[in-house]
Structure 1
Amino acid sequence: MSKRSLKERLEQGTVIVGEGYLFELERRGYLQAGSFVPEVALENPEALKQVYRDYMNAGSDVVLAFTYNAHREKMRIIGKEDLLEPLNRNAIKLAKEVAKEHPSEEALVAGNISNTNIFNPDDPASKEKVRSIFNEMVSWCKDEGVDYINGETYYYHEEALIALEEIKKYDLPAVITLGLMGENILRDGYTVEESCKILEENGALVVGMNCFRGPDTMQPYLEKIRKNTTGYVGALPLPYRTTEENPTFFNLPDGGCSCHLPTDTTFPTALDPLYHNRYELAEWAKEAHDSGINYIGLCCGASPAMLRAVAEAVGLETINSKYSPDMHKHFLFGKDETLQEHITEYRTKA
């Protein structure tokens, strides 16, 4: 089967997008929490390839090159600007290798540019620096032959628009998603639906939201975006139980925690008790799909098992669906007639 483009896949159905590499690689011990720079692309390439592979096998139609935070400003902070271009190029090369492993149709490979954390709407010099950062990253993506660019986690509308403009210079399809903080409005005064409408009108193939918020506090805004746009909408929430009182994961409390936390909040390394389970995430995926969203995934904190549940919830079979839960033969909760009754009777007492 020939490799379909992102647009072709969207026209024909739902596209599943696996993200969350940042937290997953930190959990696996290959990335430092705090700076969160993806040096793994150079230091432990096989570990990165395995994460790419795990998310693809769990249902992702896209291998997203892990260059989130791999921009000039982040590399400056850790004193490794000389590794900037090699890191970006190698992350894409590794993604392309894994994408070719897909047994039925080669996965898409997406380049990745993200929030720079230096954009200042009142400082023209910062805007030009941001534009330069995006331009060089997109140029490497073009050189390496990605299928499209994923620009994500923008909490300023204007920074997102600059990202889109730089992507369009290289004639690549663009997915632009916004990160909405607790103010419930982008930091330069736009609502997410206003921003997405403008981004769509300026040529983004997919617009939407990612990160910062779990399903419960993202879905209401996704529905506003869906009503305010005519094209494709993307939704990639966190797998954490954010609430109206705490709509993002930056200040989520854990009432059961009695230990000292490095940041005096559960973010970013003590969020474990605050996960949605995979069945809750599957229910959200159905809701998002039914509301007209068909670029669907999960962001920071997501595991491959969670992504598989999301994919299956919208009617897709993944490479690793053969490993999806089946309690039929479980020694306590199974229904198989060959199980020993003197053991299964303990299921209510265990």
Structure 2
Amino acid sequence: MAPTAAKKGILERLDSGEVVIGDGSFLITLEKRGYVKAGLWTPEVVVEHPDAVRQLHMEFLRAGANVMQTFTFSASEEKLESKYFEIAEEAVWAVEVLKESGKPVAATMCIGPEGDKNGVTPGECAVKLVKAGASIVGVNCRFGPGVSLKTMKLMKEGLHAAGLKAHLMVQSLGFHTPDCGKGGFVDLPEYPFGLEPRTATRWDIQKYAREAYNLGVRYIGGCCGFEPYHIRAIAEELVPERGFWPPASEKHGSSWGSGLNMHTKPWIRARARREYWENLLPASGRPFCPSLSKPDF
């Protein structure tokens, strides 16, 4: 019997140019499913309803995710006011401690294009994290796909200017946030119970995945608001680069609505093409609502 081949580690995958797909939202998703109360949003569901957490992991896995992150947000014994890394100095401390484990360190900050709370630019944040020992750097949460990619571009430029190299990682919100300030979506008046009109479509996320890949990002995933179908959109968009379909899509192949070819309505059959969805400007159906809002801060 031949020995089982050793699994490749994350750095081995990234060093070879392989795309690594992260998972998505747990807090907001499990709140929507009725397992977690809004407020502190402590992951009490891990103890009280572990099957719900396990099921969501399975959904992200089936959708195409390679990495399952533990659901530990707000679960520290110290009950920290914020588990986010919004200050570069704090993130550097965390990297330095994690390096002692001998494991590869991925460090993502919760910042937008304006940088951290102390005015450190995204480029400077990336440089500090890499110098501290992080092999993978990037951003997570607080901002949507478009804004997060702007931040990633600034991080990449900062590393290039400093002559440093690192793998890039992005896990944006599953919501559109062009009108957010420095604090991101938590400052929006819609947070947390009125965000649904801002939800990204799967087609938005396919565009996000392609733009991230073209930018040089090889770890691509999501954060709050990212449902399994969003992760599947990433996996489907990057089939040419990955060479295979995710389990949730392999039966049907094409991700651009080819199944609509069998629809009984001719106008819906006409939508079975990529160009239709790429150029669609979806309506919200909310006639008296503004397109943007004013953050509280």
Same fold (TM over 0.5): yes
Over residues 288-341 of structure 1, what are the superposed CA-to-partner deviations in whole Å (9 max), with x where a residue is unaligned? 100111010111011000111012212242111136552122232237xxxxxx
Partner of 1:238: 173
- Greater displacement, 310-319 / 57-66: 310-319
Query: Where in structure 1 do 4 or more consecutive aligned residues deviate above 3 Å?
Result: 244-247, 322-325
How far off is 1:47 after superposition? 0.8
Query: Quick one: distance in 1 between partners of 2:233 and 2:203?
Result: 7
Task: Specify which of 196, 206, 209 is matched with residue 285 of structure 1.
Answer: 209
Partner of 1:184: 114
Partner of 1:302: 226
Q: 1:274 is matched by which residue type in structure 2?
A: R
How far off is 1:244 after superposition? 4.6
How far off is 1:227 after superposition? 2.1
Partner of 1:339: none
Task: Specify which of 72, 75, 87 is matched with residue 70 of structure 1.
Answer: 75
% of aligned pairs identical?
Answer: 31
How far off is 1:185 after superposition? 2.2
Query: Quick one: distance in 2 between partners of 1:281 and 1:153?
Result: 23
Query: Quick one: distance in 1 between partners of 2:148 and 2:218?
Result: 15
Partner of 2:190: 266
Task: Specify which of 9, 12, 15 is matched with residue 11 of structure 1.
Answer: 15
CA contact (8 A) 1:285 1:296 kept: yes
Partner of 1:160: 91
Partner of 1:96: none
Query: Quick one: distance in 1 between partners of 2:36 and 2:218?
Result: 31
Secondary structure of 2:220 counterpart: strand
Residue 250, structure 1, aligned to residue 186, structure 2: yes
Query: Quick one: distance in 1 between partners of 2:181 and 2:86?
Result: 17
Report which of the two structures shows the higher radius of gyration computed on alpha carbons: 1
Query: Quick one: distance in 2 between partners of 1:184 and 1:178?
Result: 12
Query: Quick one: distance in 1 between partners of 2:73 and 2:105?
Result: 16
- Greater displacement, 320-329 / 304-313: 320-329
CA contact (8 A) 2:180 2:187 kept: no
Secondary structure of 2:130 counterpart: helix
Query: Quick one: distance in 1 between partners of 2:124 and 2:72?
Result: 28
CA contact (8 A) 1:38 1:66 kept: yes
Query: Quick one: distance in 2 between partners of 1:70 and 1:172?
Result: 22
User: Where does the alignment leave 5 or more consecutive residues of structure 1 unmatched?
Assistant: 75-115, 119-151, 253-264, 336-350
Partner of 1:260: none
Query: Quick one: distance in 1 between partners of 2:263 and 2:195?
Result: 30
Q: 1:266 to 1:184 in 2, by over 3 A?
A: same
How far off is 1:65 after superposition? 1.0
CA RMSD of aligned residues (A): 1.9
Q: 1:38 to 1:220 in 2, by over 3 A?
A: same
Query: Quick one: distance in 2 between partners of 1:330 and 1:27?
Result: 31
Partner of 1:57: 62
Query: Quick one: distance in 2 between partners of 1:160 and 1:186?
Result: 11
Residue 172, structure 1, aligned to residue 106, structure 2: no
Task: Specify which of 27, 33, 37 is matched with residue 38 of structure 2.
Answer: 33
Task: Specify which of 128, 131, 136 is matched with residue 206 of structure 1.
Answer: 136
Q: 1:58 is matched by which residue type in structure 2?
A: A
How many residue pairs match? The answer is 248
Query: Quick one: distance in 2 between partners of 1:153 and 1:192?
Result: 15
CA contact (8 A) 2:135 2:166 kept: yes
Structure in which a larger fraction of residues adopt strand: 1
